[in-house]
Structure 1
Amino acid sequence: MESTISSIVTKLNLEMERQLLQLLPKPVRLHLLYQASTHGFNLSTLKDRFDKVGQFIIIVYLKRGEARGAYLGRDLNQNKHQKLFLFNLTSQQATSIPNKSKAEADVDPCKYGKAFKLRKIDFGVCVDFSSDEVYNTGWAEESITNRDGSLTEVEMFRVHDVGDILLYPWREMVWKESTREELRQSVVSHKVLSDSLNSARVLLLGPTGAGKSSFINSMRSVMYRQVIHLPIIGAAPEGFTKKLKSYPVRVERGGTPTSLTLCDMPSVGDSDSEGLSYSDTLAVLNGHVSDGYKFGFESPISPTDPCYRAEPKMRDRIHCVAFCLSASEVTDCSATQQKTYRKLHAAISALNIPQVILLTHVDQVCHAVKEDVCHVYTSRIVQERMQKAAELLGMSLSCVFPLKNYSSEHAVNCNTDILLLTAVQHMQDAVDDALEDLGDTSAVGCSSSRPPPSPE
């Protein structure tokens, strides 16, 4: 909630505000326009601040701890109310009392039939409550004033729709060409925080169509500075990838590898019979599965298989897991899917492997983001989908990274690259943090430490 005067502190606490906002049909924010204890218990001042345009909320706070009020939503083309209801409000509950009359009322912020009426008295105001044919409030007939202390405050708020785009970004990002180049150079120059590793292996896990293989192509596009469409992606209903395949992220086409290798494998299903099995996933995480192994969904890999690595080294293991989830589908995950992801998350955590969530297809859920991904951290719906993804796996929101893969484009885009590179840089840092926690500190203080891109 915002105030028109920063020094004013509203009496509407966070719990009461949360309850009140649930009565409204869509997300809004409140701007405090009038407060009786600040501007004076003077109804003419309240009416002056009520400009008869848009949506407003009037609240009177009673000494006994509850609050009562009215919501006004005015039709901008007529001098009539389009929406109007009264409400009871506490920190535990908000109850709406609708207008039963189909007749439209004149614009008066202080009068709502006989049920709720503010009127001037000597040195203050009085609020009259009752129940009438328009508002069946159930309120006993009574008059409460500020003079005897039974009425402690009167406030009026303007109601603004939040819409698809929030007023301020909830995660800061500098959208400049220099940011992209700093991030790219950071990824290129990074060295794993361990003498025993040249490259960290990041395993991409997720359902069919979430964009795991597309993410690999997109990262190649970022590094090569041109969109790459390699034949590693497809649209088969059961998933295109059948084998475990590692893709080093190279500095440029044909160039030296960076410290990151992306590992692709079959999609996660609702159960072992519908996708990658749990035992095969654990085998990959622990480094027992050699590159190129074709998974057989009817039976997991066994120690007798030629592609089974009995004694994996540190370089064979998975050092970070990136769950790829589609923003357009994350709200439709079943209880079975959630159970599968939670089970995987718990197993990976037990192995002390860092995890992130790559939320793909953010451009498919928000028109503004489709136009330019720089709106991703001011998009209300993207924020909601990121929160849903975090809840799905039981992870922190700080581990969720929204991104857009290259699919139909023929040229790279600065802002799209920034999202992709930010996610990759976090993976590299997460691996270093995990290695340090495990005690592999032989390379602490090497050039892997780097500052974030400087804001300009």
Structure 2
Amino acid sequence: MSSVTSRLGLERERQLRKLFLEPVNFCLLYKGSHHGFEIETLKSKSDDQGRFILLVYLQSGAVRGGYLSKPFPKEKNGKGEAFVFSVDEQNATCFPVKDQNNAFYASTYSISFGNCLQLSSVKGKFYLTSEYDSIYGEIWKEAKSCCVEVEVHRVQDAGDLLLSPWREVTWTEMNRETLRENVVSYKPTYESLTKVKILLVGPAGAGKSSFINSIISVMYGHVTQMPIIGSHPDGFTKKLRCYDIRAEKGGQPTALTLCDVMGFGDSEETGLTLHDTLAVIKSHVPEGHKFDREAPINHNTAGYRLSPALKDKIHCAVFVLDACKVLSYSGSLEEMLKKVNSELSDLEIPHMVLLTHVDQVCHAVQEDVQYVYTSRIVQERVEKAAELVGLPVSSVFPVRNYARENVVNCNIDILLLSALSQMLQAIDDVFDFYTPSPQ
């Protein structure tokens, strides 16, 4: 069913979830316009799937439905806890069953929750009939309407989902285009600066290079296969590399440059050293420098910048952490993260955290990243990431990089671009507070 999407919409789905005492998730089993408007087909798709809701979309725009706490009945009568409801983007109204022995009825040509919600199939069309009902009460006016759409969803436990998001995001194509255009048209508020550099730092394999590849994919409108990403336990990047972000493939560079660097190790003996990390942050290190633990960066390093100009400096630093590993990162790694954080604060360089692989810690987010800010698990990992670095939770941004997809996705793009927008805003906020010297 992954290729078939519900007509319900996120806002109405949120309202509908509020009718349940415990957190639930809905899994689409049947959609009339996709599977055919026949009762037998609806029943076959719904059999043995657990508790369910029936959704009926009317020509008036109204959405009505019913819930049964038991699997779709094989016999005529369905017994169990039940209710019928109406739902829109502002609220959902529930009418509980009064006689659980007659909560639901199914026949060859119709199914019904009492008499108030009777669904029948006639010549390839569904009709909804509402009549006075002693089982649920007198709810809606007596009427018979042709249905625009009919769906059945399995109702399943979703203990990891909250009823309301802990951050608000507008998940629309229009918002994606607005966010993308903000990146394309971005100009630093400090007049003498034409480009800004954002440095990605963090443990090996956390997804620094993948984030850069994903941002390029967003801008190009297709998933790119850049040679900058790979899989290796000690990380793929060994040099300091800077990538100009272009508005489109072959187009002019934007004012944004993303910088990638060798990853931190799990211990003091592996990965990028604290000494070399601070040299990169202070912009002493030239692009292309290959890191070597046996050869620490110093004044004699080829291309070493003793007094880097403003255009060569790092204007924002971003810690990239893996949501799958934040609970198990070593104490030495945590110590290094906090030391780098402290140094960035002393240098007055804005910094924040990207939390990658959030789809791998929450099934709902894996299905749709719209659930990222209603996920309890992601919220807990965000809080842990903030604790590891020593930053407030508001400075941590969960993202999903392009790894398995072959085409770009609007919601993934929005999550990536939202994080990038926060980085650019942080740079401008710092410039508003002080005027940096050219040297």
Shift of 1:313: 0.4
Q: Does 1:376 align with 2:372?
A: yes
State the structure with more CA Rg. 1
SS of alignment partner, residue 199 of structure 2? strand
Q: Does 1:212 align with 2:234?
A: no
Distance in 2, matches of 1:307 and 1:401, equals 34
**Structure 1 contact 331–388 (Cα < 8 Å) conserved:** yes
Give the corresponding residue for 2:165. Answer: 169
Give the corresponding residue for 1:23. Answer: none
Q: 5+ residue gaps in structure 1?
A: 1-26, 30-75, 77-160, 443-456
Distance in 2, matches of 1:284 and 1:336, equals 20
**Structure 1 contact 193–441 (Cα < 8 Å) conserved:** no
**Structure 1 contact 164–381 (Cα < 8 Å) conserved:** yes
**Structure 1 contact 269–337 (Cα < 8 Å) conserved:** yes
SS of alignment partner, residue 237 of structure 1? coil
Letter of the structure 2 residue corresponding to residue 376 of structure 1: V
1:331 to 327, 331, 347: 327
Alignment of 1:210-359 (within 5 A): 210-359=206-355
Distance in 1, matches of 2:307 and 2:266, equals 30
Q: Does 1:385 align with 2:381?
A: yes
Distance in 1, matches of 2:417 and 2:322, equals 18
Deviations 1:94-129 (A, max 9, x none): xxxxxxxxxxxxxxxxxxxxxxxxxxxxxxxxxxxx
Deviations 1:50-105 (A, max 9, x none): xxxxxxxxxxxxxxxxxxxxxxxxxx9xxxxxxxxxxxxxxxxxxxxxxxxxxxxx
Distance in 2, matches of 1:271 and 1:317, equals 28
Letter of the structure 2 residue corresponding to residue 436 of structure 1: D
TM-score (norm 2): 0.63
RMSD of aligned Cα (Å): 2.3
Letter of the structure 1 residue corresponding to residue 214 of structure 2: S
Q: 5+ residue gaps in structure 2?
A: 1-20, 24-69, 71-156
Shift of 1:298: 1.4
Runs of 4+ displaced beyond 4 Å? none
Q: Which stretch has the larger CA shift, 327-336 or 404-413? A: 327-336
**Structure 1 contact 435–441 (Cα < 8 Å) conserved:** no
> What percent of counterpart residues are identical?
52
**Structure 2 contact 204–271 (Cα < 8 Å) conserved:** no
SS of alignment partner, residue 322 of structure 1? strand
SS of alignment partner, residue 327 of structure 2? helix
Distance in 2, matches of 1:381 and 1:187, equals 30
Letter of the structure 1 residue corresponding to residue 249 of structure 2: R
Give the corresponding residue for 1:429. Answer: 425
**Structure 2 contact 266–329 (Cα < 8 Å) conserved:** no
Shift of 1:187: 1.0
Distance in 2, matches of 1:214 and 1:162, equals 30
Shift of 1:197: 1.4
Deviations 1:173-197 (A, max 9, x none): 1100001001101111111111221
Aligned residues: 289
**Structure 2 contact 264–271 (Cα < 8 Å) conserved:** yes
Distance in 2, matches of 1:195 and 1:281, equals 29
Letter of the structure 1 residue corresponding to residue 272 of structure 2: L
SS of alignment partner, residue 302 of structure 1? coil
Deviations 1:187-211 (A, max 9, x none): 1111111122111111101111100
SS of alignment partner, residue 304 of structure 2? coil
Distance in 2, matches of 1:237 and 1:243, equals 16
Deviations 1:357-411 (A, max 9, x none): 1000010001110000011001110011001101111101111111100012110
SS of alignment partner, residue 233 of structure 1? coil
Give the corresponding residue for 2:59. Answer: none
Shift of 1:271: 4.4
TM-score (norm 1): 0.61
